[in-house]
Amino acid sequence: MDSSLHKHYDDEEFDPKGLMDAYFCSEKFPLIDEIVGFPLKKMHETFSSGRVRGDTMIDISAGPTVYHLLSASNIFKEIIVIRLTEPTIQEFKKWLNKDPGAVDWSYAAKAVCEIEGNREDWQVKEDKVRGAVKQVVKWDLFKDNPLDHVVLPQVDCVLSLWGLQAFSKNKDAYRSNLKKCASLLNIGGHLLLFGALNVKHYMIGEHKFFFLPCDEKFLREALRDAGYIIENMDVLPSRKGCDFIDYEHLVYIIARKEREV
């Protein structure tokens, strides 16, 4: 895919709230069971199993997404949220501060409470995430030091939901961004990575946006070269068609940082 044919995540046409409202917060969206349901299920399985633990997690994900943090807040006392653009950061902070007009994540929060067996406490679940988020930081991929003046500790877990393929404009950039994620992890810490295989595009309104197309082989090689060992890979075939987004499979990877590179 020629990335010049599509808008990019950092273009001014990218509408973070429009993306959330269209894809993540409405039961009417035909792929909601895949794009929201699959990560909710995998996050619950991962954190309830005890295989990924620690005190501090860094989240580097696409848009002002929150739903993947609902189960993570059961484990991690401190969550550091990293986002790429100021509009995305502002939308995330609206939800964090319960400001009017913030993205409505009640659908996902209720779904997580149902998975965990306590549907009535969805507002408590949201507040638990708010209490765990200690920092919201901008990550500038176009700088050698993407965090600029911000100094972060190496942590136990880095979580990325759809982010690396949305941010990376080619495969070399993806490999580089995987290594930047690894630099934030302790040796033995885990990268939890959600992505999609063989994506063509996604749309916000009338604009088509780039999402790095890749296959399972590339992901395995890129993770190995970045110093990770893949502990688990789940692939979910898409069962429905949709005009707004085109992908063949969703993928969830648990990878452990084995070495510095």
pLDDT of residue 219: 97
pLDDT of residue 139: 84
Cβ–Cβ under 8 Å, residues 88 and 76? no
pTM of this prediction exceeds 0.75: yes
Cβ–Cβ under 8 Å, residues 122 and 115? no
- Of the chain, the end-to-end C-alpha distance in Å amounts to 29
pLDDT of residue 206: 83
pLDDT of residue 8: 75
pLDDT of residue 210: 87
Domain 3-257: homologous superfamily in CATH: Vaccinia Virus protein VP39 (3.40.50.150)
Domain boundaries, given as residue ranges, for the chain: 3-257
pLDDT of residue 3: 46
CA separation for the pair 67, 53 (Å, rounded):
19
Per-residue pLDDT of the chain (261 residues; tens, 9 = 90+): 444 567 776 666 778 888 888 888 877 777 888 999 999 999 999 999 999 999 999 999 999 999 999 999 999 999 999 998 899 999 999 999 999 999 999 999 999 999 988 766 899 999 999 999 999 999 876 666 667 677 888 999 999 999 999 989 899 999 999 999 999 999 999 999 999 998 877 888 888 888 999 999 999 999 999 999 999 999 999 877 677 787 889 999 999 999 988
pLDDT of residue 5: 62
